[in-house]
Structure 1
Amino acid sequence: MKTFSLSRHSRLFSVPDSNKEYLFVSSGNSPYHEEPYRAESYAIVYIREGGVKLNTGLTVWDVKAPSIITLAPSVIRYFTKSSDLLKMDVIFFKDSFLLERHADLFFLTRYDFFENSDLHVLPLDEPGADKFRRIYELIQLTQSGSGYNQPDIIRSYIFSLVYEVDAYHWQHLSKISSSVKSHPLFAKFRHLLSKNYKEERKLDFYADHLHLTPKSLSAAIKKQSGRSAGKWIDDAIILEAKVLLQNKTLTVSQISGILNFSDQSVFGKFFRAGTGMSPVEYRKKFD
């Protein structure tokens, strides 16, 4: 599946593409990529000043400094402007780089905050912000210095960031997970949707798995989120379709098959109903 490469990130941020396994960005004039995409790398972002509106899957975050953002390659994301000021530090890295000499190849999967839509954004208190600021300063100093042992030093700082994010999550667990505890049905529905939306578009499937009638499920989800369960399902499919349509190596017919539509015509009508344009019209935006 085509994704944002490290080289593409380097072009987006106008920084040198000096390494194929990781990329450090310290930006005071950050670009906004307003179309959904996936990336080939993990990302740990430190929002130093200002803020940004972040969309991860179907979740919208109004991120304000100081905060940490954690994203796995599989997460669909896009960014829109929320303030005139945005300063941030980002370390992008491939799992192959981080785990090159690590015995546990599943190390990153142990940390939910890379994949879990409720945990991507971590607001920081002053001591936490100061600690992360220092780590990113060390990364920047290493990046700008000589190349001797540079990859290994960068790797050690990434491990430090992962451990610090995990520790901060545990330290503030009651605050961070309160929304999940308060609305367990909504959390279960979103988890089920994230695993099945490509194959299952019918509301009955989700209602059956959650032991509710379709009507009851839709009403409960709408009460909590402001949109029905059916709308959540449709939006998830459209978001995936937008990502796939940016991959010019896939035909529209192939994409309709990936998303389990009976044919290209049915997919086209579905996409137009949700976006106001045909799949081909959407794809032309990237010519």
Structure 2
Amino acid sequence: MNKITTYSLEHHKSLFTTASNKDGYFYIQAQDHPYITEPYRAESYAVEFLRKGSIVMQTRLSKTVIHAPAIITLSPSVIRSFSKDSEEILIDIIFFKAPFFLESQVNIFFLTQFDFFENDAMHVSALDKTAVTKFEPIFNQIKAALNGTYPHQPAILRSYLYILIYELDTLKQNIPHHTAQNPLFEKFKAILAKEFLEQRAVGYYANRLHVTRKYLSEVVKKNSGKTAKDWIDGLIILEAKVLLQNKSLTINQVSDILNFSNQSVFGKFFKKHTGLSPLAYRTES
């Protein structure tokens, strides 16, 4: 019972255009963005180049106002939502499925080794003038290749994606260390993202990180403004919202997936944090 509603590549494409879909990938340069305010996952990776304007993105519990120029990188597993910030934007977006990218790649774990696809603190790469002169031509070449009648388009896109990924990794490694968040907070978020469905006690995460519950709470609060319990409950609510949008699942099944003792307990928890019952949220979403 782990079926979760995701936005397919075809659905993402339909938000921008009615043109026929490529097999495993999709590129668009748009002057608008589908502002999907309800949290969702996707079946494809995304690399986005915000050339002009700004946009608000929330990934899990982290909300960021992104100002151009910037690169956004997201893996399929990341729960995200978007809202409007400026009237005018210009953005290049590449969606691609992992099997498409990995078709000629021996290392099937290639994409997972780059933290900027998964780590909430690394999804956005702000670009200075030097970085813009490096990334802008790459996206211009992608636009020319994919909007034209070039042969070997899939292979060309894979080549450019390799360049983008390696250039982004280089950019991330050159970020001064002092701009990073507390390592303990980062480790807490990493463990939490993997285990929040089974483990909801702050003490469990403190033990995993070999610190006291009080110290962990102080670090999390200082770095995020939210308590460790807020983070745990917040991720459960986000997961619940994604699951409730999958109307093939009953509310009782959603409760089971989230490891609540029964549907009533889940309903009270959900209403406490959202002001709505699970059924009311499902009806409105």
Question: TM-score under structure 2 normalisation?
Answer: 0.94
- The answer to whether 1:115 aligns with 2:118 is yes
**Letter of the aligned partner of 1:76 in structure 2?**
I
| Alpha-carbon distance between aligned partners in 1 of 2:167 and 2:218, rounded to the nearest angstrom | 39
CA drift at 1:108: 0.7
In structure 2, do the counterparts of structure 1 residues 207 and 147 end up closer, same or farther at CA, with 3 Å as the change threshold?
A: same
- Give the alignment of 1:23-38 within 5 angstroms: 23-38=26-41
Identity across matched positions, percent: 47
- Give the alignment of 1:6-155 within 5 angstroms: 6-146=9-149, 148-155=151-158
Cα displacement string for residues 197-237 of structure 1 (whole angstroms, at most 9, x for unaligned residues): 11111222122223344344323322332221111111010
- Give the alignment of 1:233-272 within 5 angstroms: 233-272=232-271
In structure 2, do the counterparts of structure 1 residues 220 and 164 end up closer, same or farther at CA, with 3 Å as the change threshold?
A: closer
**Letter of the aligned partner of 1:46 in structure 2?**
F
CA drift at 1:31: 2.0
Cα displacement string for residues 177-210 of structure 1 (whole angstroms, at most 9, x for unaligned residues): 6223xx2222222122111111111222122223
CA drift at 1:57: 1.0
- The answer to whether 1:156 aligns with 2:155 is no
| Alpha-carbon distance between aligned partners in 2 of 1:278 and 1:20, rounded to the nearest angstrom | 40
CA drift at 1:147: 5.1
What secondary structure, in the 3-state scheme, does the structure 1 residue paired with 2:103 have?
A: coil
Residue number in structure 2 paired with 1:179: 180
CA drift at 1:16: 1.9
Question: Given that residues 56 and 65 in structure 2 are in contact (C-alpha distance below 8 angstroms), is that contact kept between their aligned partners in structure 1?
Answer: yes
What secondary structure, in the 3-state scheme, does the structure 1 residue paired with 2:280 have?
A: helix
CA drift at 1:134: 1.1
What secondary structure, in the 3-state scheme, does the structure 2 residue paired with 1:133 have?
A: helix
- The answer to whether 1:168 aligns with 2:171 is yes
**Letter of the aligned partner of 2:165 in structure 1?**
V
CA drift at 1:129: 1.2
| Alpha-carbon distance between aligned partners in 2 of 1:17 and 1:111, rounded to the nearest angstrom | 31
In structure 2, do the counterparts of structure 1 residues 17 and 200 end up closer, same or farther at CA, with 3 Å as the change threshold?
A: farther
CA drift at 1:15: 4.9
Residue number in structure 2 paired with 1:282: 281
Question: Given that residues 15 and 25 in structure 1 are in contact (C-alpha distance below 8 angstroms), is that contact kept between their aligned partners in structure 2?
Answer: no
Residue number in structure 2 paired with 1:201: 200
| Alpha-carbon distance between aligned partners in 2 of 1:66 and 1:222, rounded to the nearest angstrom | 30
Question: TM-score under structure 1 normalisation?
Answer: 0.93
Question: Given that residues 10 and 21 in structure 2 are in contact (C-alpha distance below 8 angstroms), is that contact kept between their aligned partners in structure 1?
Answer: no
Flag the structure with more relative contact order, 1 or 2, with Cα contacts below 8 A and sequence separation at least 6: 2
**Letter of the aligned partner of 1:239 in structure 2?**
L
CA drift at 1:164: 1.4
**Letter of the aligned partner of 2:195 in structure 1?**
N
Residue number in structure 2 paired with 1:231: 230
Cα displacement string for residues 50-93 of structure 1 (whole angstroms, at most 9, x for unaligned residues): 11111111111111111101100001111111222221101000
Query: How many residue pairs get matched?
Result: 282
**Letter of the aligned partner of 2:180 in structure 1?**
S
Question: Given that residues 13 and 21 in structure 2 are in contact (C-alpha distance below 8 angstroms), is that contact kept between their aligned partners in structure 1?
Answer: no
Cα displacement string for residues 114-148 of structure 1 (whole angstroms, at most 9, x for unaligned residues): 11111111011112112211111111111121152
**Letter of the aligned partner of 1:23 in structure 2?**
F
In structure 2, do the counterparts of structure 1 residues 219 and 110 end up closer, same or farther at CA, with 3 Å as the change threshold?
A: closer
